[in-house]
Structure 1
Amino acid sequence: MGEKMDSDTKKRNVESDRLSNLPDDLIHKILSFNDTINAIGMSSLSPRWRYIWKSIPYLEFSSDDFSTLRMFSKFIKNVLSGRDNEREVSSVKLKFRGKASQAFVKKVIDCAFSHNVQQLTVTCMIDSKVEFPLSLFSSHSLKHLTLKSDYYGSRKGSDRRTSITLTSMWELPALTTLHLDEIPLCDDNTDEGIGLISKCVNLENLTLTRCRIMGSNGFKICHPRLSNVKIERVSCEASTVCLIAPQLKNLSIRGWLGRYQIFAPDLAYLLLEDINLNFTADDFHSLEKVDICISSPYDEVPFEVVDLLQRLHSVKSLALNLEILEFLSSHVEGLSHQPSPFGNLESLKVYPKKVHEWELPKEIVTVSREVKNYLLDGSPSAKFTMVSREECRLSSGDLLQLSLG
């Protein structure tokens, strides 16, 4: 019995020695996969790890780990006061409940900015209307910022009448990437657009996810250096969203039923999914790849679909959902005298959006010769791939059987 205990002790000592011999950078990397409270808990794995949390360049705090905000605030205070202040902080994540004016919010953000943080994610769990002063964000080092509001993390089961409101302005000259998730944008901080990005002079990547744009004067996104923009499930009281980005290369728009005006002469990639085709833009002369997927093209006007396709004349790789072609096949009179606009097309892929039986139209429309000619006559050597609904219906079991022969 005693020999077995001695053996177990020796084994633990060997394992502890192995952990102790790891370089600091690797230990930091291991601990970075945990939030700060668990990273500190892992310090017991090795005597050498006991204080290494003090130099971790990644901080992650969540009020979900504590029964009260008072305990959460005290934990943050102890961690920040115990850190090695000569070590920089590269990434900070803060998730909290309640008001942004709470002292611990400012402490965490001040610590991040005073240690030249480059990535910051702030998630506010909302139970009521909350003001978030953008003056909290003032940094010359921050490159990536994500700001979220979490309605579903609320203990009170709050609804969309609760909101986080951005107030004042921020100044982030080094910022290259901004992601706003479920953040209302209103006239106070838009100036008929996202005026709050006007002082982010190096911004290249912008993502708006499930944001509410309030105000009826129209909404404008205008920035000279934007290169990548994603707009997903955004709701807007204004009838028109205007995007002006002369250096824009990649644009994705999902789930928008309003009108878009786009000025992006250097656009190379365009994704349009489940949007209203009430869409105006200058011709795109640099398009490489386009993917258009409209779940209900039968709600559209035929000439709007054709007008959009005409604007994509320079594209090399084009993907369209099958329902668009079926819709055009029901209105071939609009194509009969139209030459194919696609003179540079290298590949065309057609795939079905709807694959469930109950979603299919009552009468399946065969893709007409006129539609195929319109799409391919300008580039007869283009590779044409058409995925049928039958192929999409194949279950994973069927695919496994096919792969096994």
Structure 2
Amino acid sequence: MEFDQNNVRWVVEQDRLSRLPDELLHKIMSCFDMKFVVETCLLSSRWKLLWTSMPFLNFSSCNFGSLLRFAEFMTHVLFHRDHQREVSLLKLYFQGAANDFFVRKIADYVCSHNVQQLTIWLTHHLPNNPPFLFTSNSLKHFTLTSIVIGACNITPKTPWDFPALTTLHLSGIVLSGDLFSKCVNLKHLTLESFVINVDVEEFDIITPRLSDLILIGGKCSRVIINLIAPQLENLTIYHCIIKLLNAPSILSSLCYTGFPHPQLFKDCFHSLNEVTICWLKMPYKEEDALKTIHMLQKLYSARYVTLDAYIVECISSFPDLLLHNSSPFTNLICLTIDSSMRVDPYKVKMSIEARNFLIEKSPSATLIMK
């Protein structure tokens, strides 16, 4: 194989990368931390000022020997960039204890430069009630993750003022008081590894346009959560410990996974389309079976139902209870028994009484053993 040195030199000298448009270079550099981006821009006169027009800013304190140097670098980048170019995405990974002055700088920048998406990861305590958590006219997507659960205690005197916000993801935080009622366009809310303040007995989630709510790993065993969300369609709950959840009866989709908690919901649901209930392995006691039956009766309107095999085996263990309670599902199209989480998925014990109880009022429904 012959090696054409002249042709290789011509390709290298042409520098095709530098000939790419700024928009594409910005997209490529958005995958990297801003420290690396700034250092890369020093390699070429063509890229010298490219970092100043970046619409995607990704900062991490892990790349600095001290928080002071990180704060100085971030301040330099923010206040020496081209302010005619809006910042659509700002990511901040902060390892260490933030001071009020630095947090206020970030808050001022977010509010004054029409940042649309803000993502923050924390590993230490954040100053209580930092200002950027309360007002922004431009912010549409906000993610706040605290690696140390409870490092961020949100106890505002007034609700957050995010009129443009549509997506909010909060993780590892302590909640109390009305937070969301001024987020009038919020449609997607995720609360993960959250705790509600010990002084709060009832916590209201007031969201006029919320359509999707995901609750993951919440520890609120003494708290009643009221979902005041008239447009809520989809509710997903993973491994949460909640005393009682008052959800709108107009739900279209309900997914519950976690410890057996048949009394989680107080009222029935009238317009369910899909329901998925998956429990960890539970003891098959008569009291548990009766609570399970009552829970299923509250889901009577569901058309597509998926039940974990443990639920079926629990009610199958007490056939007399099934004979004295009416079948719950009146609109059922498909019932799926899911045994995929079991060690022995092919040995599901479903009695004739349990089968009749589940599909008696919908005899044309399809039964699937998954």
Q: Does the pair score TM above 0.5?
A: yes
1:62 to 60, 63, 77: 60
Q: State the match for 1:328 in structure 2.
A: 315
Q: State the match for 1:26 in structure 2.
A: 24
Q: State the match for 2:173 in structure 1.
A: 183
2:110–2:132 Cα contact (<8 Å) kept? no
Q: List per-residue Cα deviations over 1:332-360 (Å, max 9, x = no partner).
A: 21111333222221211111264336xx9
CA change 1:94–1:132 in 2 (3 A) is farther
2:137 to 137, 140, 151: 140
Q: State the match for 2:190 in structure 1.
A: 207
2:181–2:208 Cα contact (<8 Å) kept? no
Count of residues in Structure 1 that have an aligned counterpart in Structure 2: 360
CA root-mean-square deviation? 2.4
Letter in 2 for 1:310: Q
Q: State the match for 1:221 in structure 2.
A: 205
Q: State the match for 2:337 in structure 1.
A: 350
User: Does 2:263 match 1:273?
Assistant: no
User: Does 2:253 match 1:253?
Assistant: no
User: Does 2:126 match 1:166?
Assistant: no
CA distance in 2, matches of 1:167, 1:302: 40
SS in 2 for 1:240: strand
User: Does 2:358 match 1:370?
Assistant: no
**Percent identity (aligned):** 38
Displacement of 1:294? 0.8
Q: State the match for 1:284 in structure 2.
A: 269
2:216 to 229, 232, 235: 232
CA distance in 1, matches of 2:252, 2:278: 18
- Compare the two structures and name the one with the higher helix fraction: 1
CA distance in 2, matches of 1:164, 1:272: 27
2:52–2:80 Cα contact (<8 Å) kept? yes
CA distance in 2, matches of 1:136, 1:336: 58
CA change 1:55–1:319 in 2 (3 A) is same
CA distance in 2, matches of 1:105, 1:133: 10
1:134–1:167 Cα contact (<8 Å) kept? no
2:92–2:119 Cα contact (<8 Å) kept? yes
Letter in 2 for 1:112: V
1:258–1:278 Cα contact (<8 Å) kept? no
Moved more, 207-216 or 103-112: 103-112
Structure 1 residue ranges, 4+ long, deviating more than 6 angstroms after superposition: none
Letter in 2 for 1:114: S
Structure 1 length as normaliser, TM-score?
0.82
1:146–1:180 Cα contact (<8 Å) kept? yes
CA change 1:237–1:292 in 2 (3 A) is closer
CA distance in 2, matches of 1:134, 1:70: 19
Displacement of 1:263? 3.0
SS in 2 for 1:196: coil
Moved more, 236-245 or 373-382: 236-245
SS in 2 for 1:207: strand
CA distance in 2, matches of 1:183, 1:370: 45
Moved more, 72-81 or 246-255: 72-81
CA distance in 1, matches of 2:44, 2:362: 66
SS in 2 for 1:142: coil
Q: State the match for 2:305 in structure 1.
A: 318
1:104-115 aligned at under 5 Å gives the runs: 104-115=102-113
Q: List per-residue Cα deviations over 1:164-185 (Å, max 9, x = no partner).
A: 2225343211112211100012
Moved more, 54-63 or 259-268: 259-268
CA distance in 2, matches of 1:13, 1:274: 60
Q: List per-residue Cα deviations over 1:212-247 (Å, max 9, x = no partner).
A: 112252323232222111111111252432323221
CA change 1:133–1:386 in 2 (3 A) is same
CA distance in 1, matches of 2:366, 2:348: 23
Q: Structure 1: 5+ residue runs without aligned partners? A: 152-159, 388-405
Q: State the match for 2:279 in structure 1.
A: 294
Moved more, 41-50 or 108-117: 41-50
CA distance in 1, matches of 2:166, 2:328: 36
1:19–1:46 Cα contact (<8 Å) kept? no
Displacement of 1:304? 1.6
Q: State the match for 1:86 in structure 2.
A: 84
